Amino acid sequence: VKCDNQEIEVKYKKLSHIHNAGQSLLDYGFGDHKSLMMSALVDCCSYPLPYELPKLWKNNLESIMSFLETSLTGITGYVLSATNTVPKGVSVMIDGFEESVDIDPKNGKFYLVLNPGVYTVHFSAPGYENKSLTVNVKTNENQIMNVILDSIGL
């Protein structure tokens, strides 16, 4: 990005590192709740004048829309027991990821944005048989993975 004829390196940074503050709202939203949030620095002026906004919007609309389309790429589904309840302590792990995927404890739903590629997804819960599935995530597609975990001993 060029700003006042100076080249500015563009890369991901936690907002708390940019603003020398504690955890930012964006860091909190994604890190603590896996909620996708975005802040884009699209100009060297942090506070554009109102009449400059339409031009900024027009200049960045295509790239913003392309970025938003990536939210469609990933996996989603439900993890339930054979009795249609959410197993207590259910966990969804993906090979190569350190943290488990967040699951709604009320209905067993999960959602994760992923880059296109092949992933092995592991489903487990205490008292249930583990299940592993392979999924091929394609660009701009949300792969559905509805999983039923069987109780141990059934």
Summarised one tens digit per residue, pLDDT across range 110-133 is 988 888 999 999 999 999 999 999
Residue among 44, 48, 40 nearest 64 (CA): 40
Q: Is a pLDDT exceeding 60 seen at residue 21?
A: no
CA distances from 67 to 14, 37, 62 (A): 18, 12, 9
Model's pTM, two decimal places? Answer: 0.64
Average pLDDT, the chain: 81
Between 29 and 89, residue with greater pLDDT: 89
* pLDDT tens sequence across 45-63: 667 888 988 988 898 888 8
Whole-angstrom distance, CA of residue 11 vs CA of residue 29:
19
Task: Please tell me the class of the 73-149 domain.
Answer: mainly beta
Q: How many percent of the chain have pLDDT more than 90?
A: 38
DSSP secondary structure letters along 109-149: EEEEE--SEEEEEEEE-TTB--EEEEEEE-TT-EEE--EEE
Listed in order, the ranges of the chain carrying CATH 2.60.40.1120 are 73-149
